[in-house]
Amino acid sequence: MSLRIGTRGSALALVQTENVAGMLADRGIDTEIITITTAGDSETGVPLHAIGGQGVFVRALDDAILRGEIDVAVHSMKDIPAARPAGLACPAVLRRDSPADFLAHEIPLDEVHIIGSSSTRRRAQILRYDPALEVKQLRGNVDTRIRKLREGQYDAIMLAEAGLERLALDLPGEALPVDRFVPSPNQGTVAVACRDDPEIIGSLAGLDHAPTRLDVEIERAVMEEVGGGCFTPQGIYCRDGDLIAEVLALDGSRWERIEQHVVTLEEARVCGRELREKAKDLILEARTALGLSS
């Protein structure tokens, strides 16, 4: 069997896809990697929420699967929106890498005043930590972000530690504690999507890591109940059933949070509904501030 695997063209996306291709090769499955440009890759001059949020990185690959141009797509799972088109499946979630954010800086930490990040969550959590810090928009792939840091456009930048590890990049800085900087849902996780075809699904199922799948499905259940997508600052992280979920004001001045051990997806959905109710004013404020309909 031979599979056509679609991917974004960034260095990180290619590394993740090549890893999946290698895992399939070990199982005797040939692959061809096909690079597809997404709107999120081409429109780097505007915030993500202005062009549809994290889902813009996924949409073009979904469409290519449904048109029959590729068989499989490899995604950073945190980019996959809650609503998925009919005709797709996700038979494999790989073992999770580090879920943490990484603060990269080449000057002493006490001299850091301007931090680059396009994430509303990271911005809110940074300002909660220290309201005196300035958070400036930063888009682009990992290489572009690092270049801008080294050019002095920022004192520090926020990145996912998993991406740095996959790219074998050793940057000065530190991983941030996940209990204080709660990650985005599914951060550090790679998902393999495909056409809803039993033969393709069967060929990919051996890549699935069941404990990771349960944790990230709990996170996604909470995310779906809370709503807000990437527009509302929210962190949701689960490890071995231990769940932390929070929603913050855009300026980090207020937040609502739940910490609970969760065994089932229904328990996760109950937590999500509880958090949505507690944080409804914060969610409305964020959507209003970003010019989105309620």
d(CA 37, CA 204): 24
**Element housing 163 (H / E):** helix 161-166
Cβ(234)–Cβ(226) below 8 Å: yes
Enumerate residues 6+ apart whose C-beta is below 8 A from 26: none
Enumerate residues 6+ apart whose C-beta is below 8 A from 274: 258
Catalytic residue among 62, 79, 97, 155: 79
d(CA 146, CA 159): 9
d(CA 281, CA 149): 35
Burial class (CB in 10 A: 0-12, 13-18, 19+), 198: exposed
Active site residue 79: yes
d(CA 278, CA 272): 10
**Chain Cα centroid distance, residue 3:** 25
| Residues annotated as catalytic (active site), given as ranges | 79
